[in-house]
Structure 1
Amino acid sequence: MLEGKKIAIGISGSISAYKIVHLVRLLIKQKAEVKVIMTPAARDFVAPLTLSTLSKNDVLTDLAAADTWANHVALGRWADLLLIAPLSCNTLAKMAHGHCDNLLLSVYLSATCPVMVSPAMDEDMWQHPATQKNIGTLRTFGHIILAPHHGELASGLIGQGRMEEPEVILSHIEAFFSNTQTALSGKKVLITAGPTQEALDPVRFIGNHSSGKMGYALALECRRRGANVVLVLGPAPAVLQQDLSGMTVIKVTSAEEMYQACMEQFPTADMALMAAAVADYRPAAVSATKIKKQNVDLALQLVKTRDILAALGAIKTPQQLLLGFALETDHEESHALEKLHKKNADYIVLNSLSDGAAFGADTNKITIYSRNGSKVAFDSKSKNAVAQDIINTILKEGETT
């Protein structure tokens, strides 16, 4: 797929630079042409000799060395894609403001090809308003942003800021060159994410452990591929609300609010991906004041919430695509297939608690069932990679139907 493709890789100063060694090897195995440009700070984290040996090209770090001038204009025009990974907070800020004090920035400002970036930094740096503003600026330039994921950071903290793994970056590059990065361009995609909370009284609710990460990953992937994303977001951690630019976000709390939002948005949507963990039941009555503890047991009556997936399936047109999720603990396949047909969905994504799926985890293991009878199983991957698998599966099947 990548044979003959010209990829320039810019490496800035980050401990994550070591991952690029493996990425270069993967690209060369696919017969891509790779040239590496490093900032001066990047040389403290990875050896140019290693990268030049793997890429079979000299690694460039300076605008001029001895009697040789690095023609940054030629480099910027040579590449089919400029990937900057890891993208440090410092280099990000310089790119956003047009600074040009090293070779990498000179190549960046001279580039006539698309630009893809994979940030890497500590969580607090990533979440800082200045960083988010700079990322937003790069997005307005049309750059492809591979948002960092949640995991162990060099500081020892656990949080968002970890650069994507080489295999995931490779899949993004493959998607870019297969033109699937714009396959959803102009399409309206409705996505639900997160849990719902069903009130008992002003301070208590019935809920679940969903983090919203899977739906959030789908929203980012669809946005990256050019879709007009409408994200209906239940109560979710603040970390999932840091990078929502370029989307229409409707924040809801209860299952009824999510139902109303989906019913309003779906008629004009091309595709709906129902990843939220919606409560099946809600309290029959909600107390206007806090329920006080008493010396007797409390009996709680629950009533069914409205089934969003079934409601959308009932009004779906042949031109619309509807995908739902099924989290099961037993008889996984039969329950997933029953849900697929009973609710008139086009696809069901099965997660099994007995097979490693868990609320709040950064990884997921899925099997996708379609109404035409196909079944595609995947290994455990990061939820960003799972989102790619889901969209790729949908697009691939769409080409053959």
Structure 2
Amino acid sequence: MKVVLGVSGGIAAYKACELLRLFTESGHEVRVVPTRDALRFVGEPTWAALSGNPVSTEVWDDVHEVPHVRIGQGADLVVVAPATADVLAKAAQGLTGDLLTTTLLTARCPVVFAPAMHTEMWEHPATRANVATLRERGAVVIDPASGRLTGADTGPGRLPDPPEIFDVCRAVLRGVPRDLAGRRVVVSAGGTREAIDPVRFIGNRSSGLQGYSLARTAVARGAEVTVIAANVALPDPAGAKVVRVESTAELREAVLSASDGADAVVMAAAVADFRPVARSDSKIKKTSGEPEPIHLAENPDILAELGARRAAEGQGPSVIVGFAAETDNVLANGRDKLARKGCDLLVVNQVGEGLAFGRPDNAATILSADGASAYVPLGPKDDLSDAVWSLVSARL
């Protein structure tokens, strides 16, 4: 596919080189359209060498080819990374003055903006209004990450990691609808850990890959996404707010807090059913005798609590989605869990050695409270994410 990579004048312009590589190595034809200021950070020869295509900032170059119209008309995707406050403002107001802004005005394909700027600029009412305008028009504006900025400053405004921007762009290129625009969703991911002592814990094999895929896909579909990440060692999904937790108690508190006012909650995390009754303050030493037994207590059932609160109070997320990882009697156990939990959808998948956990692919059956079911065959976890969000969107 033909991708236009717009690069505006921010220090994060150097990161766009990695994004360009990800596109070209995936077989996409990329035309880089930098602003004049962007070339002060990364020069034209670099963009031309990495893309294999000519680079220009001016509408007056190669006038006979009408580049200010043709580039946008022929693109399958336009992504601007980094997108400065200046470019966001010009795009929102329909202003032109160089090849990038004219390309944005003529493009009829999906457009993705990955903003990067200082926190004060990102949080300024003018920038927020411009972002809202672009989103209303159907553009995907990825919220920036929080972290180290230029100089000693730290805060929201950092360009997300290029691989995460690329994953959002891949979702847009595969044609996901913008059916979650204006919606707030919460996704739990990873696996909880229950401490035995300062060294050991009871845990599980969940990597968070499926939860993070759900988060990225929701961002691409226009949602405001909060991820409750339990012990996940993955880069933050671009455009999502990430809250990190460890134990089931911490996960419960974070999910219940984030779910206030949310349209949908997807509980993809693998939650420990039990925790040690007592936690040793020092490492338990091996002795010559039999080890002391570890007594367990049942953890709160977060999914059932979400459903019960909604039923009792008449408020809460419009759609609640649970996950059931089963080793045998998969569908029977799944249907029983769906009836007990009070959720709207339950994603049931078989787990075990070489299945689901830590793998890039997954297969599942999505059960519905109305008795319907949908089977998603083995494939990339993004396929299952697409199926889940399509069913959620239909219920919102």
TM-score (norm 1): 0.66
Tell me what 2:277 maps to.
284
- Output the CA distance in 1 between the equivalents of 2:201 and 2:258: 26
| 1:10-159 mapped onto 2 (5 Å cutoff) | 10=4, 14=21, 17=24, 19-20=26-27, 37=31, 40-41=48-49, 61=54, 69-75=64-70, 78=73, 82-83=77-78, 92=81, 106-107=99-100, 110-112=103-105, 113=107, 116=111, 144=140
- Output the CA distance in 2 between the equivalents of 1:188 and 1:108: 30
8 Å CA contact 2:31, 2:51 repeated in 1 = no
Alpha-carbon shift at residue 365 of structure 1 (Å): 1.5
Alpha-carbon shift at residue 349 of structure 1 (Å): 0.6
1:390 aligns with 2:396: no
1:203 aligns with 2:199: yes
Alpha-carbon shift at residue 66 of structure 1 (Å): 11
> How many equivalent residue pairs?
320
- Output the CA distance in 2 between the equivalents of 1:287 and 1:335: 35
Cα gap change, 1:328/1:145 in structure 2, threshold over 3 Å: closer, same or farther? farther
| 1:287-306 mapped onto 2 (5 Å cutoff) | 287-298=280-291, 299-306=293-300
Task: Find the residue that maps to 1:373 and give its secondary structure.
Answer: coil
Tell me what 1:369 maps to.
367
Tell me what 1:357 maps to.
355
- Output the CA distance in 2 between the equivalents of 1:341 and 1:9: 46
Tell me what 1:314 maps to.
308
Q: Structure 1: 5+ residue runs without aligned partners?
A: 1-6, 25-35, 45-59, 85-90, 99-104, 119-130, 147-158
Tell me what 1:27 maps to.
none
| 1:303-335 CA-partner distances (Å, limit 9, x unpaired) | 111111111111125772110001111010101
Task: Find the residue that maps to 2:218 and give its secondary structure.
Answer: helix
Alpha-carbon shift at residue 79 of structure 1 (Å): 5.8
Cα gap change, 1:246/1:43 in structure 2, threshold over 3 Å: closer, same or farther? closer
Alpha-carbon shift at residue 289 of structure 1 (Å): 2.1
- Output the CA distance in 2 between the equivalents of 1:95 and 1:322: 37
Matched letter for residue 298 of structure 2: K
Tell me what 2:156 maps to.
none
Task: Find the residue that maps to 1:202 and give its secondary structure.
Answer: coil
Q: Structure 2: 5+ residue runs without aligned partners?
A: 6-16, 33-46, 88-97, 123-127, 143-160
Tell me what 2:333 maps to.
335
- Output the CA distance in 2 between the equivalents of 1:195 and 1:281: 13
Cα gap change, 1:290/1:77 in structure 2, threshold over 3 Å: closer, same or farther? closer
Q: Which stretch of structure 1 is more off in the superposition, 62-71 or 287-296?
A: 62-71
Structure 1 counterpart of 2:212, from 208, 216, 222: 216
Tell me what 1:233 maps to.
229
TM-score (norm 2): 0.66
Matched letter for residue 192 of structure 1: S
Cα gap change, 1:289/1:356 in structure 2, threshold over 3 Å: closer, same or farther? closer
8 Å CA contact 1:367, 1:376 repeated in 2 = yes
8 Å CA contact 2:164, 2:235 repeated in 1 = no
Tell me what 2:149 maps to.
none
Matched letter for residue 69 of structure 1: H
Matched letter for residue 372 of structure 2: S
Matched letter for residue 210 of structure 1: S
Task: Find the residue that maps to 1:310 and give its secondary structure.
Answer: helix
Cα gap change, 1:303/1:320 in structure 2, threshold over 3 Å: closer, same or farther? same
8 Å CA contact 1:195, 1:212 repeated in 2 = yes
Task: Find the residue that maps to 1:10 and give its secondary structure.
Answer: strand
- Output the CA distance in 2 between the equivalents of 1:196 and 1:270: 24
Cα gap change, 1:111/1:332 in structure 2, threshold over 3 Å: closer, same or farther? same
